[in-house]
């Protein structure tokens, strides 16, 4: 059985998808871009600020579903350029400093709304 997870503390979906879906004890969070839910616009600044906003959005969804960053088992990071890899990693390490989840990181041709980063997350309780 699946449960759709939505919160106003993270940006609304910008297409035909849910913020997250919980299936049993697994939470699948759709890729989060650095949209500030209060303004509906991309976070101002560079890759560091955008990555921070992505993690705020992920946290809001985890909280809504009753999960934490400790429950995260897999992340997929999409970057507008691999030049952003190091600064994204610096922010990422603040959230996953120990027992880090499995992860993949890719440079892609483009991200929604011209974002520099998008992160998809899977968590298990």
Per-residue pLDDT of the chain (125 residues; tens, 9 = 90+): 899 999 999 999 888 999 999 999 999 999 999 999 999 999 999 999 999 999 999 999 999 999 999 999 999 999 999 999 999 999 999 999 889 999 999 999 999 999 999 999 999 99
Domain count, the chain: 1
Per-residue tokens: 9: 């503390």
- Which residue range forms the structural domain that includes residue 66? 2-124
Q: Assign 65 to helix, strand or coil.
A: helix
CATH of the domain at 39: 3.30.1330.40
Residue of 111, 124, 121 whose CA lies nearest to 42: 111
**What predicted TM-score, i.e. pTM, was given to this entire model?**
0.97
């Amino acid at each position: 059985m699946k449960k759709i997870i939505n919160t106003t503390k993270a940006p609304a979906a910008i297409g035909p998808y849910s913020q997250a879906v919980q299936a049993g004890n697994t939470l699948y969070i759709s890729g989060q871009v650095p949209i500030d839910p209060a303004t509906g616009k991309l976070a101002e600044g560079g890759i560091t600020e955008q990555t921070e906003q992505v993690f705020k959005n992920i946290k809001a969804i985890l909280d809504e579903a009753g999960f934490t960053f400790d429950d995260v088992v897999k992340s997929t990071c999409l970057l507008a350029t691999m030049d952003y890899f190091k600064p994204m990693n610096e922010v990422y390490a603040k959230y996953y400093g120990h027992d880090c989840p499995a992860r993949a990181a890719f440079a892609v041709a483009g991200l929604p709304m011209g974002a520099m980063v998008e992160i998809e997350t899977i968590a298990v309780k």
